[in-house]
Structure 1
Amino acid sequence: MSEEQIIEQAPAPVIDLTSSEYYINRELSHLQFNIRVLEQALDESHPLLDRLFFLCIFSKNLDEFYEVRVASLTRQLAFNREQAGADGMHPQQVLNAIHTLCSETVERQYRILNDTLLPALERENIHFLRRRDWTEEQRQWVRSYYDDNILPLISPIGLDPSHPFPRLVNKSLNFIVELEGKDAFGRETGLAIIPAPRSLPRIIRIPDAISSGGDCFIFLSSMIHEYADELFPGMTVKGCYQFRVTRNADLEIDEDGTNDLASALEDELHSRNFGEEMRLEVADNCPEALSDFLLRKFSLEKNDLYKVNGPVNLGRMMEVIGQINRPDLQYTPFTPGLPKHIKFKKSIFESIREKDTLLLHPFESFTPVVDMLREAAKDPAVKAIKQTLYRTGAKSEIVNALVDAARNGKEVTVVIELRARFDEEENLYLANRLQEAGAVVVYGVVGYKTHAKMALIVRKEEDRYKRYVHMGTGNYHAGNARAYTDYSFLTCNDVIGEDVHTVFQQLTGMGAAQKVRKLFHAPFTLHKKLIELIDRERAQAEAGQPALIRMKANGLTEPRLIRALYKASQAGVRVELIIRGMCCLRPGVAGVSENIEVRSIIGRFLEHTRVYYFLNGGKDEIYAGSADLMERNLLRRVETAFPVENPKLKERMKTELESYTLDNSQAWILQPDGTYVRRTPQEGEAVIRAQTMLLETLAASV
Structure 2
Amino acid sequence: MSTLVPIALPTDTDALREPSLYINRELSQLDFNFRVLAQAMDPQVPVLERLRFMCISCTNLDEFFEIRAAAVRHAQEFGLPPAPDGMTPQAILGAIHDRAAELVDQQYRCWNETLRPALHDAGIDVLGRHSWNHRQKRWLRAYFRNEIMPVLSPLGLDPSHPFPKILNKSLNIVVVLKGTDAFGRAGHLAIVRAPRSLPRIIQLPDSLGNGAQTYVFLSSVLSTFVEELFPGMEVQGAYQFRVTRNSELVVDEEEVENLALALRDELVDRGYRPAVRLEIAHDCPREIVRTLLQNFGLTENAVYRIDGPVNLNRVIQLYDLLSRPDLKYPPMSPRTLRDTDGIFETVAHKDVLLHHPFDAFTAVLDLIKQAAVDPNVLAIKQTLYRTGKDSQIVDALIQAARNGKDVTVVVELRARFDEEANLGLADRLQEAGVQVVYGVVGFKTHAKMLLIVRREGRKLRRYVHLGTGNYHSGTARAYTDLSLITADPDIGNDVHLLFQQLSGLAPKTRLKRLLQSPFTLHNGLLQKIEREMRLASSGRPGRIIAKMNALNEPQVVRALYAASQAGVQIDLIVRGACTLRPGVPGVSENIRVRSIVGRFLEHSRVYWFGNDGASELYCASADWLERNLLRRVETCFPILDAELARRVYREVLQNYLDDNLNAWELHADGEYRKCVPGHDEPPHSAQMALMQGL
For the criterion TM > 0.5, the same-fold answer is: yes
Matches within 5 A, 1:164-175: 164-175=162-173
Give aligned pairs, total: 683
What is aligned with 2:220?
Answer: 222
Shift in Å at residue 145 of structure 1?
2.2
Shift in Å at residue 56 of structure 1?
0.5
Question: What does the per-residue CA deviation read over 1:96-126, in whole Å, with 9 as the maximum and x for residues that have no partner?
Answer: 1111111122112111111111111111111
Shift in Å at residue 207 of structure 1?
2.5
Of the three residues 593, 596, 620, the one matched with 1:598 is 593
Write the distance in 2 (CA, Å) between the matches of 1:208 and 1:189.
40
What is aligned with 1:4?
Answer: none
Write the distance in 2 (CA, Å) between the matches of 1:408 and 1:505.
23
Matches within 5 A, 1:83-102: 83-102=81-100
Shift in Å at residue 652 of structure 1?
0.7
Matches within 5 A, 1:240-319: 240-319=238-317
Shift in Å at residue 300 of structure 1?
1.0
Question: What does the per-residue CA deviation read over 1:342-384, in whole Å, with 9 as the maximum and x for residues that have no partner?
Answer: 4241411111112101111011100000110011111111110
Of the three residues 428, 441, 444, the one matched with 1:446 is 441
Write the distance in 2 (CA, Å) between the matches of 1:181 and 1:462.
87
Question: What does the per-residue CA deviation read over 1:635-674, in whole Å, with 9 as the maximum and x for residues that have no partner?
Answer: 1100001101111101111111101111111111111121
| Aligned residue identity for 1:673 | D
Task: Answer yes or no: is 1:682 the counterpart of 2:678.
Answer: yes
| Aligned residue identity for 1:266 | R
SS at match of 1:39: helix
Write the distance in 1 (CA, Å) between the matches of 2:29 and 2:127.
35
What is aligned with 1:584?
Answer: 579
SS at match of 2:150: coil
SS at match of 1:17: helix
Kept after mapping to 2: 8 A contact 1:394/1:430: no
Matches within 5 A, 1:312-351: 312-338=310-336, 342-351=337-346
Matches within 5 A, 1:213-612: 213-338=211-336, 342-612=337-607
Write the distance in 2 (CA, Å) between the matches of 1:130 and 1:60.
22
Of the three residues 82, 103, 109, the one matched with 1:105 is 103
What is aligned with 1:5?
Answer: none
Kept after mapping to 1: 8 A contact 2:439/2:445: yes
Shift in Å at residue 147 of structure 1?
2.4
Write the distance in 2 (CA, Å) between the matches of 1:209 and 1:523.
62
Shift in Å at residue 134 of structure 1?
2.8
Distance 1:455 1:13, change over 3 A: closer
SS at match of 2:276: strand
Shift in Å at residue 675 of structure 1?
1.5
Shift in Å at residue 227 of structure 1?
1.6
What is aligned with 2:4?
Answer: none
SS at match of 2:220: helix
201-210 or 236-245, which deviates more: 201-210
Write the distance in 2 (CA, Å) between the matches of 1:491 and 1:105.
45
Kept after mapping to 2: 8 A contact 1:388/1:415: yes
SS at match of 1:697: coil
Task: Answer yes or no: is 1:78 the counterpart of 2:73.
Answer: no
SS at match of 1:257: coil
Write the distance in 1 (CA, Å) between the matches of 2:392 and 2:212.
37
Question: What does the per-residue CA deviation read over 1:269-318, in whole Å, with 9 as the maximum and x for residues that have no partner?
Answer: 01110010101001111111111111111111111111100000111111
Of the three residues 204, 207, 216, the one matched with 1:206 is 204
| Aligned residue identity for 1:393 | G
Write the distance in 1 (CA, Å) between the matches of 2:119 and 2:656.
32
* Superposition CA RMSD, Å: 1.3
Kept after mapping to 1: 8 A contact 2:500/2:506: no
| Aligned residue identity for 2:370 | E
What is aligned with 2:150?
Answer: 152
Shift in Å at residue 57 of structure 1?
0.7
| Aligned residue identity for 2:255 | G
SS at match of 1:249: coil
| Aligned residue identity for 2:439 | G
What is aligned with 1:664?
Answer: 660
Write the distance in 2 (CA, Å) between the matches of 1:314 and 1:403.
40
What is aligned with 1:56?
Answer: 55
What is aligned with 2:8?
Answer: none
Write the distance in 1 (CA, Å) between the matches of 2:127 and 2:20.
50
SS at match of 1:665: coil
| Aligned residue identity for 2:366 | D
Write the distance in 2 (CA, Å) between the matches of 1:215 and 1:499.
57
| Aligned residue identity for 2:654 | E
Write the distance in 2 (CA, Å) between the matches of 1:129 and 1:150.
19
Shift in Å at residue 498 of structure 1?
0.4
Write the distance in 2 (CA, Å) between the matches of 1:135 and 1:104.
33
Shift in Å at residue 135 of structure 1?
3.8
Write the distance in 2 (CA, Å) between the matches of 1:432 and 1:523.
28
Shift in Å at residue 148 of structure 1?
2.5
Write the distance in 2 (CA, Å) between the matches of 1:476 and 1:511.
26
Kept after mapping to 2: 8 A contact 1:541/1:547: yes
Write the distance in 2 (CA, Å) between the matches of 1:37 and 1:200.
29
224-233 or 483-492, which deviates more: 224-233
Kept after mapping to 1: 8 A contact 2:13/2:558: no
Write the distance in 2 (CA, Å) between the matches of 1:105 and 1:142.
32
Of the three residues 105, 126, 135, the one matched with 2:124 is 126
| Aligned residue identity for 2:684 | I
Write the distance in 2 (CA, Å) between the matches of 1:327 and 1:315.
21
Write the distance in 2 (CA, Å) between the matches of 1:635 and 1:131.
52
Unmatched segments (≥5 aa) in structure 1: 1-11
| Aligned residue identity for 2:620 | G
Write the distance in 2 (CA, Å) between the matches of 1:103 and 1:480.
30
Write the distance in 1 (CA, Å) between the matches of 2:290 and 2:484.
55
Write the distance in 1 (CA, Å) between the matches of 2:486 and 2:242.
50
What is aligned with 2:27?
Answer: 28
Write the distance in 1 (CA, Å) between the matches of 2:603 and 2:432.
32
Distance 1:302 1:438, change over 3 A: same
What is aligned with 1:696?
Answer: 692
SS at match of 1:69: helix
Shift in Å at residue 394 of structure 1?
2.1
Shift in Å at residue 136 of structure 1?
3.9
SS at match of 2:15: coil
Write the distance in 1 (CA, Å) between the matches of 2:145 and 2:373.
53
453-462 or 540-549, which deviates more: 540-549
| Aligned residue identity for 1:47 | P
Question: What does the per-residue CA deviation read over 1:23-49, in whole Å, with 9 as the maximum and x for residues that have no partner?
Answer: 111111111111111111111221111
Shift in Å at residue 605 of structure 1?
0.5
272-281 or 214-223, which deviates more: 214-223
Write the distance in 2 (CA, Å) between the matches of 1:570 and 1:251.
41
TM-score (norm 1): 0.96
SS at match of 1:674: coil
Question: What does the per-residue CA deviation read over 1:440-473, in whole Å, with 9 as the maximum and x for residues that have no partner?
Answer: 0010000000000000001111111111100000
